[in-house]
Structure 1
């Protein structure tokens, strides 16, 4: 491949618009030489950092300068003569790529649509391709105005249920989150990726999805994981408690902190019932439950006792508007007390039980 072909492939790969064949070509090029791998890692890291810049403070010239300075690799003087031709080619390629990516980024920033849902709410939207998305409390969905024209890619922070409309096979539906990307192969799935949760989770109701890791400073790209109907994939972040991978899950044998489990169809509402004003807990810890309740009722829950946080509770709640009623029901089956002051709730252990 010449420089122009590499440029186009890397841009498509980094912006998640490459097909499987192009992905394979990029990976082959990256693995061909250590300098290629370093070049790509620096380029990708800078691109990801740019995505987190605030649109209202973007300065294209400064962004270009920062991008170029950050991505051009340093070559020690004693190696200059030996690798001059390679470095010259790399610098030329960086110049082309930075121009294309900065232009691509600036265009996307100016044409991005965002949908926010505050704590205490749930919102249903229909995208231009006919896909229906339910957004849970404390969630944000972003997508470009050219959605369904050149791509069907969205970015999610929080939790959403997707009912994917049929589309062209050449334009896959992709959901980007901070750590993982989900490629839709089926029709209906729930996705949970809150920043303050200790895990990433996707649950397939119908069809199939593929999950792959994003590349950053601390993680390597993971192999694609396929999640089938009535399966739940949960990936715990490194700081969370370690979980062993099942030996018979061959696709996961080289990965850590991953769980794949089968869910009975009668219990799927534990994962997607929230969109129908239903809360279902099935052996969840009070720590997990408190995060759900904070977002659902727009409150702050204080629970400092580690032993209390690990108490498990099972129960379901339908259309309960008051968190006081929810906590009172939980209190009837667990050893807790609670007090409410405004929107702050303090949960303590009831040692009398």
Structure 2
């Protein structure tokens, strides 16, 4: 697709005017290159900010005339697709997006900064606006070199704890993940969005965040959800729900396993969600399948289980500054029916033969 075509399709997609074929084209373009995905996130952020404009700010007729003369050829089919109720916001946004698009292709990949943390590590990052971010093992954070000037948008794969600087409240702080956009309205929150996990989870310590669907077509229609202090929002990815290892034991548990969960938590239990940055692991009735993913990242190992039923075993316990995985597994072994062996960086968990 050339620049003009993608500009039109992006506007239609973001304003929900695109048909199924056009939606597929946009998604393929987004997934074709990391820069495309990051640029789309910029456009989406701009559109979200436009939604806050007061109706009196925009001259609809003047804006539409400018839009049609710059972008839409006379009497093309695209003009018929836009309803006048949306013209003002679309046109103003498009003027901004066009400038961004030109600037985007004039830059190279060096305009993007990326911070990665390998399995087994934790890293603290201070952004130019004073925001503090702790990155957990196996995580990646990226942002533009002009961060803090016109936007405060970052892109996360993995887990991070954010302590947002309050000095630039006029510029919203936004975190984009593969499927969702998280907008900070407060100051401190944890966000867990590993690509190989079956859910997104955000925990607010102080302030408030909003969460809404992003690129994925199954999530972008989701209404914005607000998460308040001492609340945890967990969203299970639809395409992975059937693969989820945990099988509810009864009907009541099944009701609790919703696609979207919002839980109120006691401050004393907050370390379950953000204790990792202090080298604290807390498991509260987690399945061994969930626990194994955490341990793989923390100790840089690969965990195998020879029996699928092992994945559903539940365990509760906490570990502070435990240097090696064998000490963690010894404690889990003492309270569950498992055995394990370690060869290099591979851990094999089997059913215990003690009984």
Task: Tell me how far 1:196 sits from its aligned partner.
Answer: 0.8
Q: How many positions carry a matched residue from both structures?
A: 288
Aligned-partner Cα distance in 1 for 2:289–2:78: 55
- Asked if 1:305 is matched to 2:307, the reply is yes
Task: Tell me how far 1:209 sits from its aligned partner.
Answer: 0.3
Aligned-partner Cα distance in 2 for 1:233–1:213: 14
- Asked if 1:190 is matched to 2:180, the reply is no
- Asked if 1:337 is matched to 2:339, the reply is yes
Aligned-partner Cα distance in 2 for 1:122–1:326: 18
Q: For 1:324, what is the secondary structure of its paired residue? A: helix
Structure 1: tracts of 5 or more residues without a match: 15-25, 56-82, 245-255
**What residue number does 1:86 align with?**
76
Closer, same or farther: CA 325–106 of 1 in aligned 2, 3 Å:
farther
**What residue number does 1:52 align with?**
34
Closer, same or farther: CA 165–105 of 1 in aligned 2, 3 Å:
farther
1:258 to 257, 260, 265: 260
What TM-score does the superposition give when structure 2 sets the normalisation length? 0.73
Task: Tell me how far 1:306 sits from its aligned partner.
Answer: 1.8
Task: Tell me how far 1:54 sits from its aligned partner.
Answer: 9.8
What TM-score does the superposition give when structure 1 sets the normalisation length? 0.73
- Asked if 1:240 is matched to 2:262, the reply is no
Closer, same or farther: CA 40–170 of 1 in aligned 2, 3 Å:
farther
Closer, same or farther: CA 88–289 of 1 in aligned 2, 3 Å:
closer
Task: Tell me how far 1:163 sits from its aligned partner.
Answer: 0.4
Task: Tell me how far 1:48 sits from its aligned partner.
Answer: 2.1
Aligned-partner Cα distance in 2 for 1:84–1:151: 35
Closer, same or farther: CA 99–280 of 1 in aligned 2, 3 Å:
same
**What residue number does 1:58 align with?**
none
Deviating more after overlay: 97-106 vs 335-344: 97-106
**What residue number does 2:215 align with?**
215
Deviating more after overlay: 178-187 vs 104-113: 104-113
**What residue number does 2:135 align with?**
135
Structure 2: tracts of 5 or more residues without a match: 38-72, 81-90, 249-257
Are the equivalent residues in 2 in contact too, given 1:215–1:221 (CA < 8 A)?
A: no
Are the equivalent residues in 1 in contact too, given 2:183–2:209 (CA < 8 A)?
A: yes
Aligned-partner Cα distance in 2 for 1:328–1:122: 24
Task: Tell me how far 1:215 sits from its aligned partner.
Answer: 3.1
Closer, same or farther: CA 315–39 of 1 in aligned 2, 3 Å:
same
Q: How does 1:342-353 map to 2 (within 5 A)?
A: 342-353=344-355
Q: For 1:295, what is the secondary structure of its paired residue? A: helix
Task: Tell me how far 1:345 sits from its aligned partner.
Answer: 0.4
**What residue number does 1:273 align with?**
275
Closer, same or farther: CA 163–99 of 1 in aligned 2, 3 Å:
closer
Deviating more after overlay: 299-308 vs 226-235: 299-308
CA RMSD of aligned residues (A): 3.3
C-alpha offsets along residues 132-184 of structure 1, whole Å, 9 cap, x if unaligned? 00000000000001000010000000000000010433310000000111000
Q: For 1:119, what is the secondary structure of its paired residue? A: coil
Aligned-partner Cα distance in 1 for 2:133–2:351: 39
Closer, same or farther: CA 294–263 of 1 in aligned 2, 3 Å:
same
Aligned-partner Cα distance in 2 for 1:50–1:103: 19
Are the equivalent residues in 2 in contact too, given 1:44–1:215 (CA < 8 A)?
A: no
Task: Tell me how far 1:271 sits from its aligned partner.
Answer: 0.4
